[in-house]
A and B are shown apart, each in its own frame.
Chain A
Amino acid sequence: MSDWYSMNVVLIQTTLTTLLLALSIQVPIRFGVFSFAGVGAFGIGGYTAAIAMVHLGWTTWPSVALGAVISGIVVFALGLLVQRLTGLYMGMATIAFTLIISVLAVNGGELTGGAGGLYGALGEIDTGHILAILAVVVAVLVWTETKGMGRRIDTVREDPELANSVGIDVVKYRLASFALSGVIGGLAGGITTLLRSTITPAEVNFHLVIVALTAIIVGGARSWLGAFIGAVIFVWLPTMISFVQEWEKVVYGFIVAVAAIYLPNGVLGVVKDLIHRFRTRQERARLAVLQEKG
């Protein structure tokens, strides 16, 4: 076990940071907000943490925390600006926001290291640390997915007008999703950067959006567990099948397209449907009788 762990420590850590990034995109989508600002938050969090370490001489965790807080605030402010936009317009505005972050990083001079990026921000992070942070994030997300909170968030996403009519403050929920997405994306960026010791503007690009989307769409957009399944598939599939390794991006493009067409709720959605059908087989039998009578 420990042999396996030490051989695969990089992959394990990549899985966890990919999961964080995917969650930062999944959260707003689950709230019915088509925002890609989580990837921008990844950039803000990564750069902030690196700047804090390199220029200010801070230690690892205060730097990561600063990155998460600042990206949370910035993305929340973005949410205030764009929250009235619908579907596609929201999507494109937030992609524009993400790409602006990267332009800012290119033009940041000494502070951001320009086009070459920032180097030498090696934090002291091990897998246990990442797991602890993930545990907190997942605990918060579980709270937003279950019981009354889960119901209300589903309503905000599926039918904002219905949400209003049963007394849910849709705007408040949407704004909260921006803040949450910003903090999670910032954490992902800070941790990833300090693990690798470097961040460049080229990393905060559209490819990152695709990585996050792939994980969510394949695994399932409705639950953190879906993002986890997606992150595992995304990170480990290339290591297992060499064909996938060679044509990685083609395979992912294909998987995303197929999932968008046939599995809108991802692998987790399929599993949940099966469980639901199994659990409710008696009720459905009763229903058939009931409807025959009526």
Chain B
Amino acid sequence: MADTAVRTTTALLAVEDVAVHFGGVKAVDGISLEMHQGNIYGVLGPNGSGKSTLLGAMTRLTPLTRGRFLLDGVDYTKVPARKVHRMGISRTFQTVRLLDDRSVRDNILLGQDTLPKQTRKAAAMQVDEVMERVGVREVAQLRPDELSYGMQRRVEFARAIIGRPRLLLLDEPTAGMNTAERKEIGKLMRQLCDEGITQFIVEHDVEMMVDTCDYLFAMNVGKLIAEGDPHDVVRHPAVQEAYLGKGAASGA
């Protein structure tokens, strides 16, 4: 990745000293990071390390305790959650959240419903095109509860990309998929990235993260413990200890 080249421009998303506390629990505790246009970023971390909370905070669904978010240098920390989508940030959820009584097609269309007309015309993909790309065109009229979990995940993915967001936040996008499916989705992510959609992925699967991401962050108990090239990050001692356990660190 062109690390030195992009540093000179404004970050697409800058996270400045962000903290999210629930009562006494410091789910996210002072995270600062930057993401630049045209890359795939990933966050590694054990369960409860605050990855998903950070993602929720980025979309403004989870209230911040302190810190701020800048999109293209513009502070959106005070913008209500419902307007974040229109700014070009869209997301998927850790658990699949689809409308059970609506068709696959309807569920995907929901992702571009509230975009302004011009944006929709200029940016949004056609629903048929999206369904083709994520591989659900064959089942367009079916309802989510008639599909396998992996298929439901694809629908969730399609809903997030149809509006062609600038920043796509993915919370465990390939959970419940087999290896072939993961590869397929990984390839699609790369294509989307080449089309200019910057991505931020929360995942457990280290192998997939190393294969897919350009740049990795590692979190533990609400703090950033390492960042950089994926291969370096997974070998970082702090990451080995936190994420893979002490035994793994000595074995590696």
Which residues of chain A have a CB within 8 Å of any CB of chain B? 148, 151-152, 154-155, 158-159, 161-170, 222, 265, 276, 279-280, 283-284, 286-287, 290-291, 294
Chain A nearest CB from B190 CB (Å) reads 21
Q: A283-B139, A283-B142, A294-B178 are in contact. Are A166 and B110 (CB under 8 A)?
A: yes
User: B159 and A286: CB pair below 8 A?
Assistant: no
Of B97-105, B200-208, B227-235, the one touching chain A = B97-105
User: A164 and B82: CB pair below 8 A?
Assistant: yes
User: B59 and A165: CB pair below 8 A?
Assistant: yes
User: B180 and A166: CB pair below 8 A?
Assistant: no
User: B114 and A152: CB pair below 8 A?
Assistant: yes
User: A166 and B113: CB pair below 8 A?
Assistant: yes
CA distance A283 to B141 in the complex (A): 8
User: B148 and A166: CB pair below 8 A?
Assistant: no
User: A165 and B81: CB pair below 8 A?
Assistant: yes
Q: Which residue of A165, A170, A283 is within 8 Å of B91 (Cβ)?
A: A165
Which residues of chain B have a CB within 8 Å of any CB of chain A? 59, 61, 81-86, 90-91, 93, 97, 99-102, 106, 109-111, 113-115, 138-143, 146-148, 150-151, 159, 178, 180-181
CA distance A115 to B103 in the complex (A): 52
Beyond the given pairs A164-B81, A166-B110, 18 more chain A to chain B contacts, judged by CB atoms under 8 angstroms and listed by A's residue number, are A151-B102, A151-B109, A151-B113, A154-B99, A154-B101, A161-B61, A164-B82, A166-B111, A168-B82, A168-B113, A222-B101, A279-B141, A284-B142, A286-B138, A287-B146, A287-B147, A290-B138, A294-B150
Chain B residues closer than 8 Å to A158, beta-carbon distance: 99-100
User: A159 and B109: CB pair below 8 A?
Assistant: no
User: B148 and A291: CB pair below 8 A?
Assistant: yes
Q: A151-B109, A294-B178 are in contact. Are A167 and B114 (CB under 8 A)?
A: yes
User: B106 and A151: CB pair below 8 A?
Assistant: yes
